[in-house]
């Protein structure tokens, strides 16, 4: 296995030094329960969207320490020879259960529960957090934009504002949360997301005139294409576009100016020219607030870049990964929790439910078990929807959550559960979570 194939070193050093010490003192094989959750919703958001689960499960397959990884750890003297031998054969043989991808979450929601030995579970912290924190932040921002857009389509086009790998992950997360297409071809190839894109301002500037640029584009892509009309003068660009393509032109794109005003002017001009079916797409640094401000404007679709791939000002979901239960030396289970000021956690194994009143969410119900033999059953909460599903059982990954099929399933699930949100959750202003988190003893 080469370094390029393995993602085992996408890991913080302290996870391996803890493993090294645990193997030395005999605690490495203690059974443990780790939990990934967010203490709060960052940015005053009213709900969060879980994304990245399918990516995490696929990456888990490649969490292997090959010769290159082991050589690095040995040469840097990060761990001892016994730990290197353990890592050489590392395979996660534990279990994971958690919220389905596309699910909503709230403060304290046990989004992912990892059960296994301390040795096999502790070294997954960084991988789990890096995937779910990034993807969930993007998906949450994308969901807010989708709500603001209503029935108007959204396209993700932010690859140039993110790292090359993050861009692909962001396109996937945005699609799950309501966007309909991406400009990123790798996201289209790998995840099966519809792709879109025609021409940038460079295309117009390449040609001797705007008209020649439009004619060349139409000759290649047909009259159903979208022409970018704001390279020079928008009014003249619209006139040229219809003169060249005719009234059957598919669309025009506006990437600058006071968008509500410009969109109204362009719509009026198109109608005057007889191009009543030509659509208007707007881009230009949109976020959920700008999209909401365009609700009454004659806009047909939106293209969003920087804001969506950076979480619209909240680039991380702020999730943490904490040990919540472990076996003692005699095999008895013990709930453990961090008690630090403003960073306290709740110990124990948990089951999660969403209580509903005539289809509308009313609370996030977290049942905490004192015993650890089994998680509380949904039968005890008949008016609630169980949120946990098995993801990995004794090392076997459920493939239903992976690949393009997993992405489509997550997108469908998100659309379904978003209908459960109370009306107050749809507002964009900063506020408390839309529903409270309630803890009960199982």
CATH of the domain at 400: 3.20.140.10
Q: What is the pLDDT of residue 3?
A: 39
**Phi (first) and psi of residue 264, to 5 degrees:** -65, -40
**pLDDT > 70: what percent of the chain?**
97
| Mean pLDDT (whole number) for 352-357 | 96
Domain contains 391 = yes
Q: What is the pLDDT of residue 38?
A: 97
Domain contains 168 = no
Query: Does residue 9 have a pLDDT over 80?
Result: yes
Whether residues 249 and 349 fall in one domain: no
Residue 341's pLDDT band (cuts 50, 70, 90): confident
Query: For the domain that residue 220 is a member of, what is the CATH number?
Result: 3.20.20.70
**pLDDT > 90: what percent of the chain?**
92
Whether residues 280 and 341 fall in one domain: no
Domain contains 265 = yes
Show which of 268, 299, 330 is a domain's final residue. Answer: 299
Interaxial angle between packed helices 13-25 and 81-88, expressed in degrees from 0 to 180 and rounded to the nearest 10: 110
Domain contains 246 = yes
Domain contains 346 = yes
- Count the domains in the chain: 2
Contact 335, 327 (CB under 8 A): no
Whether residues 339 and 417 fall in one domain: yes
The closest of 350, 418, 288, 377 to 109, measured between CA atoms, is 350
Whether residues 276 and 344 fall in one domain: no
Domain contains 4 = no
Whether residues 421 and 367 fall in one domain: yes
More confident residue, 345 or 101: 101
Whether residues 228 and 278 fall in one domain: yes
Q: What is the pLDDT of residue 374?
A: 59
Could you read off the pLDDT of 124-139 as tens digits, one per residue? 999 999 999 999 999 9
Structural domain containing residue 77: 13-138+314-441
The residues, ordered by sequence, that sit 6+ positions from 30 with a Cβ below 8 Å of its Cβ are 117, 118, 326, 327, 328
- Residue 329 CB neighbours (<10 A): 8
Q: What is the pLDDT of residue 378?
A: 65
Measure the CA–CA gap between 264 and 280, rounded to whole angstroms. Answer: 10
Domain contains 2 = no
Whether residues 281 and 342 fall in one domain: no
Whether residues 207 and 230 fall in one domain: yes
Show which of 234, 268, 299 is a domain's final residue. Answer: 299
Domain contains 153 = no
Evaluate the CA torsion angle 184, 188, 189, 191 in order and state its sign: positive
Whether residues 251 and 215 fall in one domain: yes
Measure the CA–CA gap between 119 and 136, rounded to whole angstroms. Answer: 27
Q: What 3 state SS string does the chain have?
A: CCCCCCCCCCCCHHHHHHHHHHHHHCCCCCEEEEEEEECCCHHHCCCEECCCHHHHHHHHHCCCCCHHHHHHHHHCCCCCHHHHHHHHCCCCCCEEEEECCCCEECCCCCCEEEEEEHHHHHCCHHHHHHHHHHHHHHHHHHHHHHHHHCCCCEEECCHHHCCHHHHHHHHHHHHHCCCCEECCHHHHHHHCCCECCCCCHHHHHHCCCHHHHHHHHHHHHCCCCEEECCCCCHHHHHHHHHHHHCCCCCEEEECCCCHHHHHHHHHHHHHHCCCCCCEEEECCCCCHHHHHHCCCCCCCEEEECHHHHCCCCCCCCCEEEEEEEEECCCCCEEECCCCCCCCCCCCCEEEEEEEEECCEEEEEEEEEECCCCCCCCHHHCCCEEECEEEEEECCEECHHHCHHHHHHHHHHHHHHHHCCCCHHHHCCCCCCCCCCEEEEEC
The closest of 161, 168, 217, 210 to 190, measured between CA atoms, is 168
Could you read off the pLDDT of 383-406 as tens digits, one per residue? 899 999 999 999 999 999 999 999
Q: What is the pTM of this model?
A: 0.96
Whether residues 295 and 322 fall in one domain: no
Query: Does residue 4 have a pLDDT over 70?
Result: no
Query: Does residue 199 have a pLDDT over 70?
Result: yes
**Chain-wide mean pLDDT for the chain?**
95
Q: What is the pLDDT of residue 379?
A: 65
Whether residues 288 and 342 fall in one domain: no
| Mean pLDDT (whole number) for 326-336 | 91
Whether residues 325 and 293 fall in one domain: no
Could you read off the pLDDT of 241-290 as tens digits, one per residue? 999 999 999 999 999 999 999 999 999 999 999 999 999 999 999 999 99
Q: What is the pLDDT of residue 334?
A: 94
| Mean pLDDT (whole number) for 14-37 | 97
Query: Does residue 331 have a pLDDT over 90?
Result: no
Query: Does residue 367 have a pLDDT over 80?
Result: yes
Show which of 274, 299, 324 is a domain's final residue. Answer: 299
């Amino acid at each position: 296995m080469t370094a390029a194939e393995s993602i085992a070193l996408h890991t913080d050093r302290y996870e391996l030094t803890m493993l090294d010490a645990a193997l030395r003192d005999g605690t490495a094989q203690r059974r443990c329960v780790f939990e990934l959750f967010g203490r709060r919703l960052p940015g005053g958001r009213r709900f969060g969207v879980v994304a990245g689960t399918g990516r995490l499960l696929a990456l888990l397959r490649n969490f292997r320490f090959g010769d290159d990884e082991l050589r690095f750890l040995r040469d840097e003297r990060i761990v001892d020879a016994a730990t290197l031998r353990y890592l050489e054969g590392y395979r996660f043989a534990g279990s994971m259960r958690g919220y389905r991808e596309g699910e909503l979450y709230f403060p304290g929601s046990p989004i992912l529960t990892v059960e296994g030995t301390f040795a096999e579970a502790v070294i997954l912290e960084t991988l789990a957090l890096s995937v779910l924190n990034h993807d969930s932040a993007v998906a949450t921002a994308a969901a807010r934009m989708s709500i603001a857009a209503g029935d108007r389509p959204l396209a993700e086009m932010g690859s140039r504002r993110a790292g090359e790998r993050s861009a692909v992950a962001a396109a996937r997360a945005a699609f799950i949360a309501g966007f309909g297409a991406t400009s990123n071809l790798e996201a289209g190839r790998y995840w099966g997301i519809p792709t879109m894109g025609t021409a940038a301002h460079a295309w117009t500037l390449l040609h001797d005139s705007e008209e020649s640029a439009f004619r060349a584009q139409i000759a290649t892509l047909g009259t159903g294409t979208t022409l970018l009309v704001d390279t020079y003068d928008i009014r003249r660009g619209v006139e040229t576009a219809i003169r060249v393509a005719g009234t059957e032109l598919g669309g025009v794109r506006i990437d600058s100016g006071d968008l509500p005003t410009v969109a109204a002017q362009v719509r009026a001009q198109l109608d005057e020219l007889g191009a009543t079916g030509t659509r208007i797409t707007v881009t230009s640094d949109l976020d959920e607030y700008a999209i909401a401000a365009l609700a009454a404007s004659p806009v047909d679709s939106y293209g969003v870049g920087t804001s969506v791939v950076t979480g619209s000002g909240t680039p991380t979901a702020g999730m943490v990964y904490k040990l919540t239960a472990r076996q003692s030396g005699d095999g008895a289970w013990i709930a453990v929790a961090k008690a630090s000021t403003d960073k306290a956690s709740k110990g124990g194994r948990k089951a999660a439910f969403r209580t509903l009143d005539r289809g509308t969410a009313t609370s996030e119900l977290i049942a905490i078990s004192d015993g650890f033999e089994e998680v509380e059953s949904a039968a005890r909460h008949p008016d609630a929807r169980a949120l946990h599903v098995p993801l990995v059982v004794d090392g076997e990954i459920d493939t239903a959550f992976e690949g393009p099929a997993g992405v489509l399933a997550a997108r469908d699930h998100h659309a379904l559960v978003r209908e459960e949100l109370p009306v107050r959750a749809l507002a964009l202003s900063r506020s408390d979570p839309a529903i409270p988190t309630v803890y009960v003893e199982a």
